[in-house]
Copies of this chain bind each other. A is one copy, B any other.
């Protein structure tokens, strides 16, 4: 146990002391990792001293922005091929969270001083990710924080401007699913039309006529029906579909 603690502690100190050399300054990547479970949109959050934050990180000096986003998502979920979209940039002049970092680091027993690189101003490149929640293995970061799913409609107290970022991601997602079919990334590889229907209702926060929705989706000709219906359904077994690869 002491060994594990030391190991984690070393990681944090390395991060605080050497991050300046490893990462581009003034730029961060934050990811609203979205899942869908029990008929609710979920977002993956990390806890720090009773408040929660979005998974995030910094861009390596020899790493592309999109690779950084993929890496952060992989670190928190274990997933390798996520659907990721950069949906907004938060670039306010005073977007700097020195006082919050001071409080959190001191509370967690780490050294803090005002010259630490993380106290600077950061432009946040905000992504959302659409993942199948059951495939994710939520994993805390170098602080070994609790990492858990929360309802996007009912966020806990959030650090920094992360509540705003999370809510903006939903606004963008609402727009995006009208332009392009990406929502199925929130479902298992094989899914049913009733599942997709409920998902869209939750994203858009309004009722969608079931019959018309199903006809519309199938008319797009981007989903293929599988030979076997879904086995573990309570009543009539719905057909299973899969997104067609390559047109």
- Contact surface of A with B, Cβ cutoff 8 Å: 24-27, 59, 61-67, 86, 88-89, 91-93, 121, 123, 125, 175, 178-179
Secondary structure of the A contact surface, majority rule: mixed
A86: chain B residues at CB < 8 Å are 88-89
Residue of B nearest to A61 (CB): B121
Task: Please tell me which one of the listed residues B24, B59, B67, B93 contacts residue A64 in the complex, with CB atoms under 8 A apart.
Answer: B93
Residue on B with the closest CB to A94?
Answer: B64
Interfacial chain B residues near A63, Cβ < 8 Å: 93
In the assembled complex, the Cα of A67 lies from the Cα of B123 at a distance in Å of 13
**A92 (CB) vs chain B CBs: closest residue:** B64
Pick the residue among B24, B88, B175 that contacts A123 (CB under 8 A). Answer: B24
Decide: B121 and A91 in contact? CB cutoff 8 A.
no
Apart from A27-B27, A62-B93, 20 more pairs, CB < 8 Å: A24-B25, A24-B26, A24-B121, A25-B25, A25-B26, A59-B91, A59-B123, A64-B92, A64-B93, A65-B89, A65-B91, A65-B92, A86-B88, A86-B89, A89-B89, A89-B125, A91-B125, A175-B179, A178-B179, A179-B179
- Residue of A61, A91, A178 with most chain B CB atoms under a 10 A cut-off: A91
What chain B residues lie within 8 Å of A67 (beta carbons)? 93
Residues of B within 8 A of A66 (CB): 91
Distance between A98 CB and nearest chain B CB, rounded to angstroms? 15
In the bound assembly, the distance between CA atoms of A92 and B67 in angstroms comes to: 9
